[in-house]
Amino acid sequence: MKEFFKVADIQEVLEYTSDFSSVEPENVQLFETAGRVLAEDIVSEVDLPDFNRATMDGYAVCASSTFGATEANPAYLDVKGVIGMGESPCFSIGPGEAARISTGGMLPEGADSVVMIEYTQVIDDTTIEVAKSVAPGQHAVEVGEDIKKGEITLCRGQRLRPQETGLLAALGKVRVKVYKKPVIGIISTGDEIVPVDETPGIGRIRDVNTYTLSSLVIKAGGIPLTFGIVRDDFDALFEKCALALAQSDMVLISGGSSVGTRDFTIDVLSSLPGSGILVHGISISPGKPTILAKAHNKDQKKAFWGLPGHVVSAMVVFEVVVRPFIEYIGGVTLERKRHFLLSAFLSRNIVSAQGRIDYIRVRLIEKAGMLWAEPLLGKSGMINTMVKADGLIEIGINTEGLEKGEEVSVIPL
Amino acid sequence: MKEFFKVADIQEVLEYTSDFSSVEPENVQLFETAGRVLAEDIVSEVDLPDFNRATMDGYAVCASSTFGATEANPAYLDVKGVIGMGESPCFSIGPGEAARISTGGMLPEGADSVVMIEYTQVIDDTTIEVAKSVAPGQHAVEVGEDIKKGEITLCRGQRLRPQETGLLAALGKVRVKVYKKPVIGIISTGDEIVPVDETPGIGRIRDVNTYTLSSLVIKAGGIPLTFGIVRDDFDALFEKCALALAQSDMVLISGGSSVGTRDFTIDVLSSLPGSGILVHGISISPGKPTILAKAHNKDQKKAFWGLPGHVVSAMVVFEVVVRPFIEYIGGVTLERKRHFLLSAFLSRNIVSAQGRIDYIRVRLIEKAGMLWAEPLLGKSGMINTMVKADGLIEIGINTEGLEKGEEVSVIPL
């Protein structure tokens, strides 16, 4: 080991996020905003709705005209006209008056509510009978009741779900400032790794991590940029890392899980411009031999991760620490937590070592209306257990194990 | 109403999925499989791994050579050589022998386990001291231990997560048969609706549903194909529907929430080739005035939905019934449920009408280690409540309400 072995806990690793800058914003069309991260606060320039709107089919009225109306003792109102969709009514409504209106129609001046069509009877061309009273504001939305002019409706750093995109549409924001998707470089290392389209010779295996990590990057809102497989050779890895540093916002190097390869991954990362090893080992299992380094490219500090070669370990490290970094550099700043964990009961006892956080793959099973987490034990080089798994549970650093029936939080996979 | 008003419950609506056929399969590159639905069973043609593999750095040994070894009473083994990464060892290991090996390296013949480097001491060039016993198979993966040759590893109808893509990589599947993404046509109707880039005149509003529905379609794994806004006019809507029928796998018509518009949406849907109204009204709130119809295009039966115009109603109907249809026609057949619901405690009493399922928007709040669901009441035309919401809770058809502190399942939004 050439440097001090900086084993960190997860919290310490996550604190390094602020060492890195977020990607630049860009303007996109409203149609392209799905899942993107907002790079500006959105202040409404209008009231929504900007007219009093019916939310039911029926008659626009002054609520007071209906007070006390029942089937036995209906109110009789004069019909002043019909309000067409998208029309501004050319008359107003006074006490004892009504106007036929459809859902979404504009209430005439003087009307404050809508009597549902179901509670009315047409008596003649100009008279209806109303069998139920309405309260002021009922079956109508007032000007600004949804969104008020000048209100901050969406905040920078917020990820845009369908409803947020809908709100932007309602406000007429046809172009929206969002953060660029962070480009995440992916490098596989190891003399034993062959490309997927080759038949591995004896003692060799296909490159799995490039594919799992690419898919994870997409899920996390980034763009994977793959750099292929690098042999266990300092110069080859240095050259690839220098290229990835120039072309990516962050880099994931997987493999090099043997001590020898780890050593020269550290050497390479220490040789990059403006480099520094921030973390060398994380107190988690699987995933302990993880490296976090920084490097500079044109005044930009970029994170380099040395991930374990075992596919399960690399995926766990991604879920636990890499994903938050991608979100951070991708501009996500919203305090409001959108990822809530599932809760389940443990189906059997599991033991765990103290001094590290253990991540256990679990399958979720619904039994008798309860959700059970069934641990899938298996070596971290085996992808099959990840395919069977629905999530991960965490066994705390000071816990020796968990008992059957205990409630656990599940990180969905 | 021109036809019998077929109000259905959710279960009845979902049973119509099997009336429709799934989209065609296509072959894609492994890199393009993220989130796609597998259209073939994957049978492994190889054992994984196909050689006995070390999972730790150390020495390959016969486990029996270490039995009883402790720090006080170590075992001494003869070192026969070093196994390089990706190499097939040219020697075998017998009792009392060992070979230096790295994680991922190939165990020599005769070796059945690996002693971790931490528990060994180099005595001289050809001798090590072992301070801990290992069990057969420890720190190694056997041939076929992850995946056995001939095993069905992935099934048709399964959505591909990062780990499934990783497994396909491990098996060398460079091209994969997946279902095409279903193309979902989206039409907005209503005389009061204007395109987002226009300033709505008085009494008019911008087209929100095209955008929320497009984003929802993307989230559900489909491709939105938008057809813009259609005025309240039979011929215009018929023409758009005929076009959408030819170009899409399923069509969503939103708006027409007023009785008059609903009527001619029904008329148009009844006039399409091979048409039939399957559902006219669902016993849910919001979302009751939903229409499900079928139409034929070149022997293909396609679903047409008439969704309510209110943005909240349209989104709820999408989550509850449209999404399962998109998944079904998109080829998802896997029985194994991947969408588990969050569990939370209700923060206050809510009342509900019997005879329908109520969907209530909730915000989730973590308080004292528990997750609370706080109902967000608001009219279904107001998008702001959806922006504030983290999920929906369901109040059953025979329930008059729920009490504060009751445990509820939350559909995440």
- Please tell me which of the candidates B203, B206, B310 has its beta carbon nearest to residue A88: B203
DSSP letter at B316 equals: H
Q: Which of B86, B166, B168 sits opposite A204 (nearest CB)?
A: B86
Report the alpha-carbon distance of residue B64 to residue B107 in Å, rounded. 16
How far, in Å, CA of B263 to CA of B259, rounded?
6
Distance of alpha carbon A271 from alpha carbon A279, whole angstroms = 16
What is the rounded distance in angstroms from the CA atom of residue B133 to the CA atom of residue B63?
7
For domain A27-45+155-179, give its CATH number from 3.40.50.20, 3.90.105.10, 3.40.190.10, 2.60.40.2140. 3.90.105.10
| Closest-CA distance of chain A to residue B370, Å | 10
Task: Specify whether the CB–CB gap between A214 and B34 falls below 8 A.
Answer: yes
Would you list the DSSP string of B232-290?
A: S-HHHHHHHHHHHHHH-SEEEEE---SHHHHHHHHHHHHHSTT-EEEEE-BSEES--S-
Which of A207, A260, A343 lies nearest to residue B169, judging by beta carbons? A207
Q: What pLDDT was estimated at residue A17? A: 95
* Residue B382 C-alpha from the chain's centroid: 28
Residue B22 carries which DSSP code?
A: P
What is the phi-psi region of residue B301: left when phi exceeds 0, alpha when psi lies from -120 to 50, beta otherwise?
Answer: beta
Q: What is the pLDDT of residue B75?
A: 96
Q: What is the mean pLDDT of each run of 10 residues along chain A (413 residues)?
A: 69 95 96 96 96 94 96 96 91 96 93 96 96 95 95 95 97 97 97 94 94 97 97 94 97 79 85 94 93 93 94 96 96 72 92 90 90 89 92 91 93 91
pLDDT band at B1 (very low <50, low <70, confident <90, very high): very low
Asked whether B257 and B246 are in contact (CB, 8 A), the reply is no
**Which residue among A51, A165, A167 sits closest to B203, beta carbon to beta carbon?**
A51
Q: Which two tokens stand for residue A9?
A: 């806990």
**How far lies A126's CA from each of A69, A96, A132, B145, B262, in Å?**
19, 12, 19, 83, 25
Three-class SS of residue A162? Answer: helix
| Chain-centre distance for alpha carbon B337 | 9
- Contact (CB, 8 A) for B254 and B234: no
Beta strands, E only, A83-170: 97-101, 113-116, 120-124, 127-130, 140-141, 152-154
**For the domain B10-24+180-329, what is the CATH code?**
3.40.980.10
Q: How many CB atoms lie within 10 A of CB B296?
A: 14
Question: Contact A172/B199, CB-based, under 8 Å?
Answer: yes
Backbone angles phi, psi at B106, to 5 degrees: -90, 125
Q: For the stretch B97-133, what's the b/e string if a residue is b when 16 or more beta carbons lie within 10 angstroms of its beta carbon?
A: bbbbbbbbbbbbebbbbbbbbebbeeeeeeebebbeb
- Assembly ipTM: 0.94
Return the CATH number of B342-412, one of 2.40.340.10, 2.60.200.20, 1.10.730.10, 1.10.357.10. Answer: 2.40.340.10
Could you read off the pLDDT of B62-80 as tens digits, one per residue? 999 999 999 999 999 999 9
Mean predicted confidence (pLDDT) in B184-211: 95
pLDDT of residue B334: 62
CA-to-CA distance for A306 and A256, rounded, in angstroms? 8
Tell me the CA distances in angstroms from A86 to A137, B13, B17, one per residue in order: 20, 33, 36
Cis peptide before B286 (omega within 30 of 0): yes
Mean pLDDT value of segment B343-366: 92
Give per-residue pLDDT as tens, B368-389. 888 999 999 888 778 999 999 9
Taking residues B290-312, what's their average pLDDT?
A: 94
Using CA atoms, how far residue A406 sits from A132, A343, A403, B207, B375, in Å, is 54, 10, 6, 49, 29
Q: Which chain B residues touch A58 with a CB distance below 8 Å?
A: none
CB contact under 8 A, A211 and B338: no
Best residue in A82, A85, A207 for a mutation probing chain B (most B CBs within 10 Å): A85
The answer on pLDDT for B2 being more than 50 is no
Interface test with A, best of B56, B161, B198, B226 (most A CBs within 10 A): B161
Q: What is the pLDDT of residues B71-123, one digit of tens each?
A: 999 999 999 999 988 889 999 999 999 999 998 899 999 999 999 999 999 99
Nearest of B89, B94, B90 to residue B112 by alpha carbon: B94
Spatial separation of the C-alpha atoms in residues A156 and B49, rounded to whole Å:
47
Q: Domain B25-48+145-179 is in which class?
A: alpha beta
Class of domain B53-141: mainly beta
Contact (CB<8Å) A211/B146: no
The domain spans of chain B are 10-24+180-329, 25-48+145-179, 53-141, 342-412
